[in-house]
A and B are shown apart, each in its own frame.
Chain A
Amino acid sequence: KQEVTQIPAALSVPEGENLVLNCSFTDSAIYNLQWFRQDPGKGLTSLLLIQSSQREQTSGRLNASLDKSSGRSTLYIAASQPGDSATYLCAVRRDQGAQKLVFGQGTRLTINP
């Protein structure tokens, strides 16, 4: 059974810092991995999708990497801003088709002005 873990559970940093959020998964046989952002009481906004054949994806100040063999992904946020404060979730998908996502518990990020 796939288990997804995110470390740390919470992180508070001053504005402007670069930071890394970690995601690990127990079964390396994944199809893709998706990073989401969740604001309090709101839905999930997709940030980046990495297919199993890819090593990284970039969108603006965000960069996500994937090391499937070791069961790890990182989300790098450059030059953090107070608007980046949210909970960040990673989720893995076992196979294509109508396959479920298995989520981590998230990292709650606070960027202090």
Chain B
Amino acid sequence: EPEVTQTPSHQVTQMGQEVILRCVPISNHLYFYWYRQILGQKVEFLVSFYNNEISEKSEIFDDQFSVERPDGSNFTLKIRSTKLEDSAMYFCASSATGAHGYTFGSGTRLTVV
């Protein structure tokens, strides 16, 4: 069964550093998403991406965050200057169409120290 692949599985970074989280969505999917889950809290929406542009973003997704689809397969989330409160599990997801369900990756655990 096709999978959404995320790398790395765990990243530790110092406060103020830039991080890039990488995702390879399912190849024929058109819609791409990033979510995050702070330990013990709900899964929260960050951003959706379709047709090479952001479709929707949450209030969490401020100027410190950006997304990119640099080639035909990768989808990245960049955090420019990490804060302690950015520590969370970050999930990438994709869907074939707007009507289909989501497929999530296994996540990247980001720890900011």
When C-beta atoms are compared, the residue in chain B nearest to A36 turns out to be B104
**Majority-rule SS of B interface residues:** strand
Q: What total count of A-B pairs have CB within 8 Å?
A: 66
> Is the Cβ of B58 less than 8 Å from the Cβ of A100?
yes
**Which one of B48, B49, B58 lies within 8 Å of A99 (CB-CB)?**
B48
A66 at the interface (CB under 8 A from B): no
A91-B43, A98-B55 known; A46 vs B104 contact (CB < 8 Å): yes
> Is the Cβ of A100 less than 8 Å from the Cβ of B101?
no
B91 at the interface (CB under 8 A from A): yes
CA–CA, A102 and B19, complex, Å: 26
Of A89, A100, A102, A105, most B-chain CB atoms within 10 Å: A100
A contact residues around B93 at 8 Å (CB): 44
> Is the Cβ of B42 less than 8 Å from the Cβ of A101?
no
When C-beta atoms are compared, the residue in chain B nearest to A33 turns out to be B101
A44-B91, A101-B45, A105-B42 known; A96 vs B107 contact (CB < 8 Å): no
> Is the Cβ of B98 less than 8 Å from the Cβ of A98?
yes
> Is the Cβ of A99 less than 8 Å from the Cβ of B42?
no
A30 at the interface (CB under 8 A from B): no
> Is the Cβ of A99 less than 8 Å from the Cβ of B56?
yes
CA–CA, A96 and B105, complex, Å: 21
A100-B33, A103-B43 known; A43 vs B105 contact (CB < 8 Å): yes
**Which one of B41, B56, B91 lies within 8 Å of A100 (CB-CB)?**
B56
Residues of B participating in the A interface, judged by any CB pair closer than 8 Å: 6, 31, 33, 35, 41-45, 48-50, 55-56, 58, 89, 91, 93, 97-107, 109
Residues of A participating in the B interface, judged by any CB pair closer than 8 Å: 31-32, 34, 36, 41-46, 49, 51, 89, 91, 95-106
20 new A-B contacts at CB < 8 Å, known A97-B31, A100-B58: A31-B99, A32-B99, A34-B102, A41-B89, A41-B109, A42-B106, A43-B106, A44-B93, A44-B104, A46-B103, A46-B104, A49-B101, A51-B99, A95-B98, A98-B49, A99-B48, A99-B98, A100-B45, A103-B42, A105-B42
